[in-house]
Each structure stands twice: as structure tokens, then as C-alpha cells.
Structure 1
Amino acid sequence: MPLANLGSVKTSWRSAFRALRHPPFRRYWVGWAISVLGSWMQTLAQGWLVFRLTNSAQALGILSALRFGPSLFGLPFSGVLTDYFPRRKLLIFTQSAGIFQAGLLAFLTLTGQVRVWHVFILALVQGLIDTVDMPSRQSFQVELVPVADLQSAVSLNSTVFNAGRLAGPALAGLVVAEAGEGWCFALNAASFVPFLLAVLSVQEKASVPAQRLQVIPQLLEGLQFAWQHRKVRKLLMAVLVTAVFGLSYSTLLPALASSVLGTDARGYGLLLAASGLGAMVGSLGVAATGRKRGTVFRSQLLLGLSLAALALSKGLFLACLALVVAGLSVAAQLATTNGYIQTTSPDHLRARLISLYIWVFSGGAPLGGLLAGFWAERLGVPVAIGLGAGLCVAAALLQLLPARDVQSSR
């Protein structure tokens, strides 16, 4: 029996990496890993720069709203449109635009000309780019690997994202402390290049839409299915609560690091890295164990408790521990939700439902950022984080206590 189990583990481990057998995906994966690292570096530097220029938690909320706001309005439509335009061309556009956006921000910062409104405008531009990039990039993977290896490709990209979330902020904290925010923006601009080259190396595939494009009716069809399917509706509502209230702490991390914990950019980087480490553990845990009953709402409950611990933390070490648990909880919830939607959606609605899932998660962030900034400005950063914690706990308990019809979905 132990030998059989060992063989099963080895087989599962090999299967997880089978997408790397395909050269186009290998180039794509390496380029994506570099790009993710640069993006996380810019995320830290951008927040730190805004707080340095304004010393305002509410300004961080505005930054978050501008950065993620376009997703709130555009993702459902971009998900539908992605099926009707060549994904390769869309990615070439988004990566080129990303180079311009990060490069301009680097120039303004390194030359000492940057003002907070520059950062706000370029954050909005970045949000618009990402609104087109996210559905294009995720659906492009099917052009790089056969369907049988698609799950491996998706899992590997998720692992890379969380690895970048771990390493990028820590590296950015060192760069900001030693050389300033501008160099993080410059490195991010350069990080787009390998991914752009990987996309350019892929031969474009002609696609013929199965039906005439009707954006609104097709969008409404996906929304109707999600609302009428009770399990999908509950899971998407849980994602919305986590995005708005559970992840609002990330908007306040620069203020928490500086004003409450008394640390600098290095400490801020460690806080973001701790959350990334937890996310890696959470996503790998779900990949190894599969969906378990109650995972979604138990993870949300654990997220709320970890945020309560973060709100009470007075030292960097305890705050990092709390963020490891928070990152793990969010990753477990999202991986379970994503897997359920992908494996249970009808074929003709899958892309729209995945876009809806991304929309709920990404679109909730600007609302949470604004609320967190508003609360922090008036009640203090720890209280603002504590409010989000309480709402996550309450939402999870409402589902866990009468959990009869939803447990089977997780």
C-alpha cells in the first residue's frame, strides 16, 4: 500500500508539470513569471510613492479604485469580446501598452517630476490595460497546449503568480529603500519584454465565431445562469464579500507598515511577501487535496480571524504571521470556487462565467479600497482592518451554520 501511494504521488507530481512539454507554453510561462515579478514590484512601489507624497490613507483608497475600477465596469464585456478578436493581437497590444505605462511612470519618478495626480492617471491606464489583458491571457492558454494539458497550464500559471506575489514585494522593498520607487517602475517596464516576445513567437490561429456577436444578449445569458444556479450564486457572493471586505487590508498596508508598525519599505515588502507565501501554500494545498466540503466558507471564516489578528498586531513578526494565514485563506477560497465553476459550467457558458468570476473578484477591490480608505481616515487603520475582519466572519457564519445545500459544491 505505501508503494502504491508513493507511485500515485509521483504520477500526480509529473502530471502537474506536463504543460511544460510544449515549447510555446514554456516560453509563455517563463515570460509570464518575469512579468508577474515586475508587476508586483510596481504594486508595492506605487502604493509607497502615493503614501510618501500624500501621507494619506484615503489617497491609497483612491489609488486602488483607479487601479481596479475599470475591471468593475469592463470585465464582463471584455470577456465576451475576447472570443471575437484574435487573442494574440490583444496580448501584443496590452503588453506594449504596459511597457509605455510603466516606462512613463519610471521617467517621471526618476527625474523628480512625479506628482500624485500623475500616479493616479497612470494607475487608471494600468487598470484599463488589465481589463483587456486578463481574459485574453487566460483564454490564450488553450492555443499553447492541448485541452488534456490545460489544467496543468492553468495551475502552473497560478503558482507563478503567487510566487511573484511572494518574491516581488520583498525585492521591491529593497529597491525602494536603496534606490527609490522609480527603479521599480523601470524594472517592471523591462519585465514585459520577455512575455511580449513569447506571445510574438506563437503563430496566430484563425478563429471563426460560432455565432454573430451580440454582446448584451450573450452577457445577460451568462448572468442569468449564474443567478439561477444557486450554488454558483452563493460562491460568487462569497467572492464578492472577500474582495470588498477581506482584501481591503491590502490597500492599507503602506499606512499600517509606516504608522502602526513603525517600519519602512523593507517591512512593507515583507508584509506583502508574507501574504504571497500564504497564497502559494493555499493554492498548492487545494491542488493536492482537491475540493473539500466547506472549504469556501471555512476559508472565509479563517480569513476574518486572521485579519482580526492583523488589526491587533503591534509588531512586524505577528503581522506577517497573520498575513500568511490571510493569503492561504484567500487562495484556498478562490481556487475552490474557480475549480467548481470551471468543472460544472456548460461548455457554451464557461468563458462568460469565468469572466464573471474574475469581474466579481477584481471589481470588488476598488469598492473595498475606497471603503477602507474612508474608514481608516476617520477611525484609524487597525479599526478599518478590524471592520473588514468582522464582516468576513459574519458572512462565513451565515453560510456555515445552515450549510446544507451548499456544502456539496465545495
Structure 2
Amino acid sequence: MAVPPALETPESDGDATSGGPEDLQRQSWTRRTFGAVIENPHFRNLFIGNIFQFGSMQMQLVVRSWLVFHITGSFAALGTVALANAIPGLLLSPVGGLIADRAPKKTIIQSAQIYNMANAAVLAALAAGWLGVELAFWHLFLSSFLQGGVNSIMMPSRQSMISDLVPRDRLMNVIGINSSGQTFMQLVGPGIAGFLIAALSPAAVFGVMAALYFFAVTFTMRLPTKPLYAFAQSDAGRAAKQARSGGRRSNGFKDLKDGMRYVATDPTIRMLIMVNFLIVVVAMPYTMLLAGFVKDILHKGAFEQGILQSVQGLGAVGGSIFIASSASKGRGKMMIGWGALLGVGIVAFSISTSFWITLPIMIFIGAAQAGRMAIGQVLVQSYSEEEYRGRVQSVWFMQFSLVQFGTFLVSILAEFAGPQVAIGGLAALLVLAMGLIALFVPAMRRLD
């Protein structure tokens, strides 16, 4: 059975992250679930900074889509902007992982946040007409492309830095809490953006986004530059790394290739990545096709679509908090279970033709999706060797780009067979696949 790599940790400083698993079980539910945010100042700063960043990103999804359709009136233009954001993710995510393993993660995160702040400020000025140039489609396309590249470089550092700030036995807790913050902003961010567009203007949305990124930078500035918990800090870690390199100086291309080889050859990491990609490509395209499904199958409009997305967010918050408060055992079985539950939920979604029946189904789907993402993050960070963690995270985050391509394939299938067959059929295959993994991949079941 695979065992997570050894980890050197500093001596306890008395915060909630210093206790072992037995200590955590004796704590109250509140402290066990939220103790890392309350008592660990380093994780708290990262968490609050992420909240501001997630909020800005959710607002951007609304205002950019609204402006693209307002300017062009074309659904194809919406898809083009989405692909413009996704393609750099596939191309540059491995580079972001390499940078995360070689440079201070704090610097990488801050640099990306400062760029995003400037990007939002420029779009605010264009939308307000302050630059003497009318906001055009190509401005939004270019912004989406560049931001996709910047974020794909930053995301491996942002996520893998969690392992630098808390001990290994608290990863399940803090990743669940971090995920709950993200899903909470999925609830409130789009609503704030929609209100600002209606009450003021798109320029106001971009202005608020720039302010949120500014606050994110202020909290990121307080993070430590060096890892507090890392195998790489120990003498054994340095000796192992030096032995693997043969005493030679680091080479960027070779390090990138070594990272990809590690993902491809480490049996546990390879298994986790493959199972996660299977779930993402098969299950997640339904989110991109939701608008058409609501209109053609449920015979409802944009308001009802927003309600469905909001209750899905409520379920996601619940799923994330469940992971944050769960014991750190049987996590491989949990990932299989969450994947199967997600498939069951999407099958039920595809069958339903009633808005009121679909409503509780979306809560179920949101919880399963958040649980799947959080437990997958816990496992991949727990079983990654420290020196490769950033590169592993870069491959993991390719899922967000793969969703765009999976959506394209599912949309083609939906044209010929209808959205219910396309979405529900693939979700049924996901349930079958999770069952086969549970039966015939014992290594996955044994992960703790």
C-alpha cells in the first residue's frame, strides 16, 4: 500500500494545527472544522486572500460573458472566449508547476494577483470610456487569454502552498475549509456582479474586482516566504534531492520533464490523476450546457437557471465542510464514493423535466462535486513528494481546461442525441466506472 512521503514539521506552537489525529477527534466539531482558520495565522491569511481572489474570479465570469454577448450577440463568441482562457491552461500549467517547485510560492501568487488587479483596472477604464477607446470584443478575448496564462502559472503555487503552512495530518481539514470558501464565493460573487451591472454598469464590476485583488495582495504579503512544513527542509530531503540530481545544477527543461515523468511513473499519483480526469471529462460538461438544458428541457429562463446554480452552491458548501470535519482515513474509498454520487446526481438531473424536482437534485450534485474536488486535493497533496508537488498540482489543474474540451464533445453528442441522453448517458458511464474501480483497483480503496 502506498504511504504518504515522510514530512518534517516544526515543534508545536500551541495552535490548532499542532495536534495529531487523535487530538483532533477529541476536539469539538467547531474547533476541529474551523480551528485552522481561527488559530493558524498563516493559513488564515492565505484563506482570506483566496476568498477575495475567488470572489473577483466569480464576478468576472458573469461580467465578461454578459459583455461578450452584449457586444456580439453570438453564442460562438462566448465559446471562443472560454477556449481562449482554457488553452493557456493546458500549455502553461506544467510551467506553473515547475515554477512552484523552484521559486517562492508567495512571490508567484502576489505577482499574479497584481497582474489581475491591473487587468481589472484597465477593463474598468475601457468600460467607463476613460481611455477614449470603446470596449471591444478583442479586448475581452485578449484579457481572457492572458489571464488564463497567468492563472495557470499561479494556481499550482496557490494550492500547493497549503502544504507549506500546515502539517500533513491537517490537510483534509484545511483543504475542505479552503474549498468551502471558494464555493461560498460561487454563491455570492455572481449575484453581486449581476446587481452591479443592473444598478450601475459593467465598469463598476471591474472596479470592485480590482479592489478585491488589492485586498488579496495585502493578505498574501503576510505569508511566510519559506515553507513551515516541508520534507524538502529536512537533511534527508536535501540529500535525496541531491542524489537524484547527481550533484548537477538544476535545468528548467529537465526539471519539467522529470516532473512529468514522476506523475506518469508514480503509481499512486498516476492513479489519482487518471481517476480525477475521468470524473471531470465525463461529468462536468453539464455545467456548461445548463443554460440550454434549462430552456429546452425544463422550459424555464435565466432567473430559474440562477436559482439552480445558487442551490448547487449551497450543496457545495455543505460538501466542503463535511470533508473539513471528517477523519483522515478511508480517503480513497471516499473519492470513489463521491465520484459515484456525482454520477448518480447527474443521471437524476438528466432524467428530470420538472424544475422543482431538479432543485433538490442540484443540491446533491453540488455536495458531490465539492466533496470530489476536496478529497482529491487532499490525496494528491498527501501522496506527492515535496519536490514535485507543484508540478503534480499543475497537472491536476489541467482539469479546468479539459472541461472545455469535454464540453465541446458532449455538445456535439447533444446535437444528435439530445441533451438528456448526452449528459445522462455519460454520467451513467461514470457510475459504472466508479463501481469497476471499487471492485478491481484495490490500490485506490486502500488509500488513507
Please indicate the TM-score interval, normalised by the length of the shorter structure. 0.7 to 0.9
Alignment-derived partner of residue 241 in structure 1: 278
1:317 is displaced (CA, Å) by 3.7
1:129 is displaced (CA, Å) by 1.6
% identical aligned pairs: 25
Question: Which of 5, 12, 35 lines up with 2:53 in the alignment?
Answer: 35
Alignment-derived partner of residue 340 in structure 2: 301
Alignment-derived partner of residue 106 in structure 2: 88
State the SS of the aligned residue for 1:409. coil
Alignment CA distance shift 1:34-1:54 (3 Å): same
Paired amino acid for 2:220 = V
Alignment CA distance shift 1:238-1:216 (3 Å): same
1:176 is displaced (CA, Å) by 4.4
1:289 maps to 2:354: no
Q: Is contact 1:53–1:116 with CA below 8 Å preserved after alignment?
A: yes
1:348 is displaced (CA, Å) by 3.3
The number of residues matched between the two structures is: 405
Q: Is contact 1:172–1:269 with CA below 8 Å preserved after alignment?
A: no
Alignment-derived partner of residue 69 in structure 1: 87
1:312 maps to 2:351: yes
1:362 maps to 2:412: no
Alignment-derived partner of residue 99 in structure 1: 117
Question: Which of 232, 237, 241 lines up with 2:269 in the alignment?
Answer: 232
Q: Is contact 1:20–1:26 with CA below 8 Å preserved after alignment?
A: yes
Alignment-derived partner of residue 312 in structure 2: 275
1:194 is displaced (CA, Å) by 0.5
Question: Which of 386, 395, 408 lines up with 2:424 in the alignment?
Answer: 386
1:199 maps to 2:217: no
TM-score scaled by structure 1?
0.82
1:399 maps to 2:437: yes
Question: Which of 314, 333, 338 lines up with 2:372 in the alignment?
Answer: 333
Alignment of 1:28-177 (within 5 A): 28-51=46-69, 58-109=76-127, 113-141=134-162, 145=165, 147=167, 151=171, 153-177=174-198
Paired amino acid for 2:212 = S
Alignment CA distance shift 1:125-1:12 (3 Å): same
Deviates more, 1:162-171 or 1:50-59: 50-59
Paired amino acid for 1:269 = G
Q: Is contact 1:36–1:164 with CA below 8 Å preserved after alignment?
A: yes
Alignment CA distance shift 1:90-1:337 (3 Å): closer
1:160 is displaced (CA, Å) by 1.2
Cα distance in structure 2, aligned partners of 1:344 and 1:314:
42
TM-score scaled by structure 2?
0.76
Q: Is contact 1:252–1:373 with CA below 8 Å preserved after alignment?
A: yes
Q: Is contact 2:163–2:381 with CA below 8 Å preserved after alignment?
A: no
State the SS of the aligned residue for 2:102. coil
Cα distance in structure 2, aligned partners of 1:245 and 1:26:
35
1:61 is displaced (CA, Å) by 3.6
Cα distance in structure 2, aligned partners of 1:150 and 1:279:
20
Cα distance in structure 2, aligned partners of 1:105 and 1:313:
40
Alignment-derived partner of residue 323 in structure 1: 362
Q: Is contact 1:57–1:252 with CA below 8 Å preserved after alignment?
A: no
User: Is the helix fraction higher in 1 or 2?
Assistant: 1
Paired amino acid for 2:358 = A
State the SS of the aligned residue for 1:294. helix
Query: For residues 205-258 of structure 1, what are the alpha-carbon distances to aligned partners after superposition, in whole Å with 9 as ceiling and x for unaligned?
Result: 699997633233333333333333434323211211222221112222344445
Question: Which of 248, 259, 267 lines up with 1:222 in the alignment?
Answer: 259
Alignment CA distance shift 1:258-1:286 (3 Å): same
Q: Is contact 1:169–1:269 with CA below 8 Å preserved after alignment?
A: no
Alignment CA distance shift 1:311-1:30 (3 Å): same
Cα distance in structure 2, aligned partners of 1:5 and 1:214:
43
Q: Is contact 1:69–1:363 with CA below 8 Å preserved after alignment?
A: yes
- RMSD of aligned Cα (Å): 3.6
State the SS of the aligned residue for 1:308. helix
Deviates more, 1:252-261 or 1:96-105: 252-261
State the SS of the aligned residue for 1:355. helix
- Gaps of at least 5 residues in structure 1 are none
Paired amino acid for 1:336 = I
Q: Is contact 1:232–1:341 with CA below 8 Å preserved after alignment?
A: yes
Cα distance in structure 2, aligned partners of 1:331 and 1:107:
36
Query: For residues 360-388 of structure 1, what are the alpha-carbon distances to aligned partners after superposition, in whole Å with 9 as ceiling and x for unaligned?
Result: x2332232233344445665544543354
Paired amino acid for 1:191 = L
